Structure 1
Amino acid sequence: MRVLLIGGGGREHALAGALAASPRLSKLSAAPGNAGIANVAECVPLDSSDHRAVIDFCRKEAIDLVVVGPEGPLVAGLVDRLKEAKICAFGPSAAAAQLEGSKVFTKALCAEENIPTAGYEAFSDRESALAYVEKHAMPVVVKADGLAAGKGVTIATTPAEARKAVEAIFAEDGAQVVIEEHLVGEEASFFVLCDGKTARPLTTAQDFKRAYDGDEGPNTGGMGAYSPAPVMDVATQARTMREIVEPTLAAMAKRDMPFCGVLYAGLMITADGPKLIEYNVRFGDPECQVLMMRLESDLLALLDAAVAGRLDRTSLAWRKEPALTVVMAAKGYPGVYEKGSTIRGLEEAAAVEGATVFHAGTRHVDGEIVAAGGRVLNVGAIGADLSQARKRAYEAVGRIDWPEGFCRSDIGEAASRRG
């Protein structure tokens, strides 16, 4: 099969590696890709927002399957346009992608279908939202309605923090805000592969959103992750499928928005059981990196089966060993950061037993690898247990020579001590 992968981050590098390992693959192209993806795919300068250009490329190159990595093109309807052009594409329609693209849509669906989630109110005007904040007990969670790359969330512990978050969201024209109760428990990520009829549970992970050690600092797109998540035992996974995922998929089918793609449920495991924090409609980043390190099944065969509606005939196999990844970001991220600094020591890092280095925001310049984004590298490893995976990942991090970068030093620390 000839495959086009849309995206150029760490998630896409992990997907590219897994796709390249498939015996079904004849050629892999990536748009735009990055310096790491270039080792396993032909990188092409396609703008995914230019749907006509993507369609023309697919026709010219006889692409059999388009795999859309990021959420932006999904919400913008790229899969819809490709399917109208009779080109097979993996990922949800724009209508189904509202599960991530609009928190107001998802919260309303949960309320209608009695899906366990945080209590909430949604507001389309600033004054009503501010009035609600003044009378509501703290803490509350303030979320922008649309896509925010994992950074549009504020856990406000005081009315002043909540007001600031509301004001920032309504600085944008046409904004909406969701204000939720603050759930208490342990967060976990649960992934399900869907073909519109059948849902195949994948596996679990836990990620780290805050920029700095000890879960301090601003929210980011993710500073590290590990898989599997110990808190998601077999019973909790079954309950999540029964109470959250399956009712959601049934509700989407009932609304004539069948979901085909990866559904990623961000969960809080509370004293009352799992509750939905939010949905993403694609593989997470950096969760995808640890998932792909553990996946034994043929990824291309799975994605092809999902598009063809044949997931009921598939099976999944995972390595039992856990995997962990550490994100290396440019200093200043998620705020202002500089691009163009040189990164060395990547081959030495990848030589650590069990380690894999995924590129996220990199490019080639004059024979060197340079930083070209905020989150720049994902340094991962697999091990006999989480403690060994963590030790190997940080050993690999220590071999990378990049003074302009930083990472958290505590990814997986508590979980590895726990078991």
Structure 2
Amino acid sequence: MRVLVIGSGAREHALVLALSRDPGVTAVLAAPGNAGIGRIAEQFPVDAASAEQVVALAKDQQVDLVVIGPEVPLVLGVADAVRDAGIACFGPSAAAARIEGSKAFAKDVMASAGVRTAHSEVVDSPADIDAALDRFGPTWVVKDDGLAAGKGVVVTADRDAARDHAAEIIENGHPVLLESFLDGPEVSLFCLVDGETVVPLLPAQDHKRVGDGDAGPNTGGMGAYTPLPWLPEGSVDRIVDEVVRPVAVEMVRRGCGFSGLLYAGLAMGAEGPAVVEFNCRFGDPETQAVLALLESPLGAALNAVATGALADLPPLQWRDGAAVTVVLAAEHYPASPRTGDVITGADDERVLHAGTKRRDDGALVSAGGRVLNVIGVGDDLGAARDSAYTTLAEIKLPGGHYRSDIGLAALEGRISL
């Protein structure tokens, strides 16, 4: 099976790496890829958001399966175009991708499916912001109703900061979604979904804030770990039964059945799981940790979803132990990351590239806010953390920064339900 992976980040690097280890995959291609992906897959300079370019490449390279990593091509309907061309595609239709592309749509689906989530209200006029804020708090959750690459959310006890963020979103032409604050530790659960068939992967936890101790602004994610030692046994089945499957069934009922990876971001409160958000694709950086423990062939699993055969897929097999991924970010990320700095010491296979490129002289340089992901795998969470941070210590990036506490609260027993 020849597989084409669409995207250019560390998530796609992780997908390419896992696919290259599948004995049933004869070739892995990537578009547009990055400097790290280029070491293990042939790359093509294609615009990931262009349905015409993606379809033309898939036909030219006679691929059997297209795997779309980022959310933007999915929301724009690239998966639809690939399937219309007669090529199997892992990724939901544009209609189904609205579960991420429109938070208001997601809320409506959850309401119909009886899924617990935060109370919310959409505001699309600056004149309505103050009155709406009065109906929320004392912790305000302010979201861009559209796609915001993980950085369109402000959670704050500062009303002025909440108001400023809401005003900025509306000024940029997007509606604002205000939500009640959901208490409890967060869980990311990825599920392979084929209509009403749901197969969960390992639960993970992301670290969204830029600094240690969850300080500073939200980012696209500064690191993640899996599994979750504090999550009670049976919690994954409960999330599938109470959240993911009801949503999958509701989307089928609406005529926009989901096919691909449905990501549920949840708050595990006293009353059980409540949805913070849904994503229509593999999450970044949780994917990097989760796939590090997958022993089953990834290509076979993704192809089963793409061809409507998920119900026949053998149970997924996982390595014992834990995995951690830590993000090395560029100076000034997430506000205005500096690019073009030379990176050294990043040759290890456990280093996944997110925002990198090769200069004409062959030097590896930063080309984005989140530059690298370092993977650590071990017999337990402590060993996985040690592995990741030992590797990270060998990498040099001027002005680069990372969190030193990925998975630490779980390791020290400071997370509980």
TM tier, shorter chain?
over 0.9
> TM-score by structure 1 length?
0.96
Match of 1:246 in 2: 245
**After superposition, where does 1:54-69 map in structure 2 within 5 Å?**
54-69=54-69
Match of 1:286 in 2: 285
Match of 1:11 in 2: 11
On the 8 A contact 1:186/1:231 being kept in 2, the answer is: no
1:26 aligns with 2:20: no
Residue aligned with 1:335, SS: coil
Question: Once the 2 structures are TM-superposed, how far is the Cα of residue 288 of structure 1 from its aligned partner?
Answer: 0.5
Residue aligned with 1:206, SS: strand
Distance in 2 (alpha carbons) for counterparts of 1:313 and 1:86: 22
Distance in 2 (alpha carbons) for counterparts of 1:388 and 1:3: 33
Q: Deviations over 1:14-35 (max 9, x none)?
A: 0000011111222211011011
CA RMSD in angstroms, aligned pairs only: 1.3
Q: Which amino acid aligns with 1:55?
A: V
Residue aligned with 1:414, SS: helix
Q: Which amino acid aligns with 1:52?
A: E
Unaligned runs of 5+ in 2: none
1:378 aligns with 2:377: no
Match of 2:43 in 1: 43
Q: Deviations over 1:65-89 (max 9, x none)?
A: 1100001100010001111111211
Structure 1 338/122 Cα, relative in aligned 2: closer, same or farther at 3 Å?
same
Match of 1:361 in 2: 355
Q: Which amino acid aligns with 1:339?
A: T
On the 8 A contact 2:289/2:323 being kept in 1, the answer is: yes
Question: Once the 2 structures are TM-superposed, how far is the Cα of residue 49 of structure 1 from its aligned partner?
Answer: 2.2
Question: Once the 2 structures are TM-superposed, how far is the Cα of residue 254 of structure 1 from its aligned partner?
Answer: 0.1
Q: Deviations over 1:355-381 (max 9, x none)?
A: 711111111111221111110000111
Distance in 2 (alpha carbons) for counterparts of 1:262 and 1:137: 33
Question: Once the 2 structures are TM-superposed, how far is the Cα of residue 242 of structure 1 from its aligned partner?
Answer: 1.2
Q: Which amino acid aligns with 2:101?
A: G
Q: Which amino acid aligns with 1:360?
A: A
Match of 1:215 in 2: 214
Question: Once the 2 structures are TM-superposed, how far is the Cα of residue 215 of structure 1 from its aligned partner?
Answer: 0.5
1:201 aligns with 2:195: no
Select the residue among 408, 411, 416 that pairs with 1:416.
411
Deviates more, 1:130-139 or 1:244-253: 130-139
Match of 1:345 in 2: 345
Residue aligned with 1:393, SS: helix
Which segments of structure 1 move beyond 4 Å, counting only runs of 4 or more?
Answer: none
Question: Once the 2 structures are TM-superposed, how far is the Cα of residue 286 of structure 1 from its aligned partner?
Answer: 0.6
Residue aligned with 1:100, SS: helix
Distance in 1 (alpha carbons) for counterparts of 2:53 and 2:389: 41
Residue aligned with 2:320, SS: coil
Match of 1:271 in 2: 270
Distance in 2 (alpha carbons) for counterparts of 1:177 and 1:320: 42
Unaligned runs of 5+ in 1: none
On the 8 A contact 1:213/1:408 being kept in 2, the answer is: yes
| Residue identity (%) | 46
Match of 1:397 in 2: 392
> TM-score by structure 2 length?
0.96
Match of 1:387 in 2: 382
Q: Which amino acid aligns with 1:229?
A: L
Residue aligned with 1:151, SS: coil
1:178 aligns with 2:172: no
Distance in 2 (alpha carbons) for counterparts of 1:192 and 1:135: 34
Residue aligned with 1:201, SS: strand
Question: Once the 2 structures are TM-superposed, how far is the Cα of residue 135 of structure 1 from its aligned partner?
Answer: 4.6
Question: Once the 2 structures are TM-superposed, how far is the Cα of residue 90 of structure 1 from its aligned partner?
Answer: 0.5
On the 8 A contact 2:79/2:90 being kept in 1, the answer is: yes
Q: Which amino acid aligns with 1:325?
A: T
Residue aligned with 1:342, SS: coil
